[in-house]
Amino acid sequence: MTEASAWTEAAEALADEVTAGAPAWHDAVRNTPRHLLVPRWWRRIPNSPAREWELADLAEDSPERLRAAYTDETLVTRVGPTHADHAVPGERGKGDPTSSSTLPGLIVSMAHRLDVKPGHKVLDVGTGSGYSAGLFARRFGDENVTSVDVDPYLVEAARTRLAEFGRTPRLAAVDATGELPEPEYDRIMATVSVRPVPASWLRTLRPGGRLVTTTAHTALLITADMGTDGIARGTVQPDPATFMETRREADYPPKLDDLFRSVRVREGEQVRPPEGAVPDLWQEWPLRWLYELETPGVETRAATYPEDGRRVVWLLAADGSWARAEDGTAPLVHQGGPRRLWDDLERARRKWEENGRFSLHALRAELGAEGGALLSPDGSWVLPV
């Protein structure tokens, strides 16, 4: 089997898997050599307390490299400020992902929802490896696709690698939350998460145009169509999608590890029983995301102690506010700092229950250059996005 036939067969198998509900994208997936766009990547080291990663650096024709490239999985290409391309053998990445090649099935699903028509001008926000730009360019023509990323290296690497197999969409290194390379687009798809939706996206989206994006720190995927009044209206989609947030620096701000260490077992300024059960915010994700929409920027951590099965949830904020809720035989909530974060969580839960615990897929989106919101089914709950 030749190298070409090996990757094309792998790509065709991937296309069969991820385009079953969107067959118009089969040709693009089958003919886009993802292994050329992701020559190296980071793999998370299991049970690493320091969020460490090891480098995957495999020969181009390696069966393992082809298997990874044509499996419907995300490949992390940048950890903290370090791209896998720049790592030396044996080096470990440390921190959280700052760029990746998104799993192909999610790209296809979002692109299918975007509903691009021939001749449409498409903006791909978050170039990353260049894979989504390559798919759009294969199907709709290089001249109709613009892809942007804040990282100049990512843009240049994607440009070079796309050109190796004949794809030449327009790529630009810009902060996508600011001004965009062209004055108008028919379709905008973002594989980075935002909050708020940048005004520049809504100003450049033509009437009748469509936007597909996600809200930062949630997995809420929004599809919205631009009206003649400058407001894009749509809904939250049933399939969740999680992306890294837009950034302006080489890395994201550090997490609140120092605050966590200082309050992990500290007595709160206020101590009281919780209102109802202590929620598992990793299982009760609708509540977690509603809380994030109402109280943005709060870090959530949790642990279960094996000796007694007791579960603890911490909420942490950059202003020094914190909360710790412990379940068990005598549940307690400790809170400190300028705000009472657990009070806010319980208030969000009460409001959601008063609204019948509606599905988050029932939220309606109204997005304008002056601001946007998600609205509960009866319109009584307005959540800024």
Which residue in 99, 109, 129, 132 is the catalytic one?
Answer: 99
Across-strand partners of 78? 83, 99
User: Is 99 labeled as catalytic in the residue annotation?
Assistant: yes
d(CA 203, CA 201): 6
Which residues are part of the catalytic machinery?
A: 99
